[in-house]
Structure 1
């Protein structure tokens, strides 16, 4: 972690929403206007990390939408999905709690190490009916290594509401979706059709299952398993892409409409 000396502070930095280079494509696709904001808070307590002075920090980069209903919905989901067991009402509140926890921790640890928590939320789809975000999370609060994960958030813009997997594939057809997904997973992992999953994976009862961490891409329905979810930490995360042509008959009309608008 890069060392730095600072006192407690918080900043909000606005940046243009379409900074990815291909501005023409972004303008053609995007329907919601937004800017990216940066919030950062650091502890005033400096610690010694292997001979280098360092301090703990919390940093969040996230989109802020000009449509009030969507902005409130997204802001609320940032907190409820990232820390479902907490009662924080905003990113700022979570950041203050993170730094406060560190400041309390160093009072009890003889050799404390600096902590960090980073959140980077990106708009990955923004069409007439569909908004999708990816949230990259990276944090360290002591121990042998930090943790990281990617969460997907999906929204139905025509209803100003969240979009669930059930909105794309009816629950009655989950078994068929899972079967298709398992065939792709086994081929991707180099497994035979009847090879046990018990040796290298953490699937409950050794039965393959799809999770709810998904997003819709131009190529298919993408699922992502984060570290420790189905494999050890060293194996990293696992992506599973199910092409639309394999599940077209399973998809709802809403799902097909969203797919038709993706680029």
Structure 2
């Protein structure tokens, strides 16, 4: 009887831990159009307090940094504070250049692209236009440990960087060859192949995404493709 009791206690502890680290997401929306046009949508974690706070702080700090036009590192700001600051910068711009018809824009949209017991992947798409020839678009993936809320590093995710790099490079070359509209003649600006700044997970496979200027000129836009997990599982620590 004592043996069965111990088993029951262990199982109860395991199930309790699973409940503790359960994380759900809801959408947060912040909009402002009185001064600059600002629209920010992002997934906000809820559930285990420690885990959800780590995830939320990482996402919110990144969003704040995307609206920061100064070289200062902003700390202890909310996203609402960052929007107010962005609007103030725009009003200062209008004061200095009253003849300009430019209205600043900041559009940020985030979504959970993948969830499993091993990884939560969130993509944040940012578009900022504060004048110039064109606005700037940037997409970044954040891969979280669902049990701790901490960000995985590339070394956490990848067991064989050389093997994965070779597979991605071959696929990239195939995609470039098949692009008959505007093929890239000199990607990475003459440098050796490089992994993208961030990799994302989806149900279909690993998302490979290069932002403008990361691999080619702005006119090439974002270069994105997905590699099936079946082709790269042997190179990954986390599938």
| TM-score over 0.5 (shorter chain) | yes
1:219: how far off?
2.9
Q: Which of 201, 209, 214 is equivalent to 2:194?
A: 209
Q: Which structure dedicates a bigger proportion of its chain to helix?
A: 2
Alignment size in residue pairs: 205
Distance 1:238 1:142, change over 3 A: same
Q: 3-state SS of the aligned residue for 1:151?
A: strand
1:134 corresponds to which residue?
A: 123
Distance 1:79 1:204, change over 3 A: farther
Indicate if the aligned counterparts of 1:33 and 1:66 stay in contact, CA closer than 8 A.
yes
* Aligned 1:180-195 pairs, distance under 5 A: 180-190=167-177
1:233 corresponds to which residue?
A: 218
1:204: how far off?
5.7
Once residues 99 and 75 of structure 1 are traced to their aligned partners in structure 2, the CA distance between those partners, rounded to angstroms, is 23
Distance 1:81 1:211, change over 3 A: farther
The runs of 5 or more residues in structure 2 that have no matched partner are 1-21
2:19 corresponds to which residue?
A: none
Distance 1:174 1:128, change over 3 A: closer
1:206: how far off?
2.1
2:153 corresponds to which residue?
A: 164
Q: Which structure dedicates a bigger proportion of its chain to strand?
A: 1
Q: Which of 69, 78, 103 is equivalent to 2:59?
A: 78
Indicate if the aligned counterparts of 1:75 and 1:90 stay in contact, CA closer than 8 A.
no
Verify: 1:222 aligned to 2:207, yes or no. yes
Q: Which of 103, 109, 134 is equivalent to 1:145?
A: 134
1:226: how far off?
0.9
Verify: 1:103 aligned to 2:91, yes or no. yes
Once residues 103 and 96 of structure 2 are traced to their aligned partners in structure 1, the CA distance between those partners, rounded to angstroms, is 14
1:178 corresponds to which residue?
A: 165
Once residues 90 and 101 of structure 1 are traced to their aligned partners in structure 2, the CA distance between those partners, rounded to angstroms, is 17
Once residues 174 and 217 of structure 1 are traced to their aligned partners in structure 2, the CA distance between those partners, rounded to angstroms, is 20
1:228: how far off?
1.8
State TM-score, norm by structure 1: 0.70
CA RMSD of aligned residues (A): 2.4
Q: Deviations over 1:154-201 (max 9, x none)?
A: 11112321122211213xx2122211111111111118xxxxx99432
State TM-score, norm by structure 2: 0.76
The runs of 5 or more residues in structure 1 that have no matched partner are 1-30, 44-54, 192-196
Distance 1:33 1:75, change over 3 A: closer
1:135: how far off?
1.0
1:98: how far off?
0.7
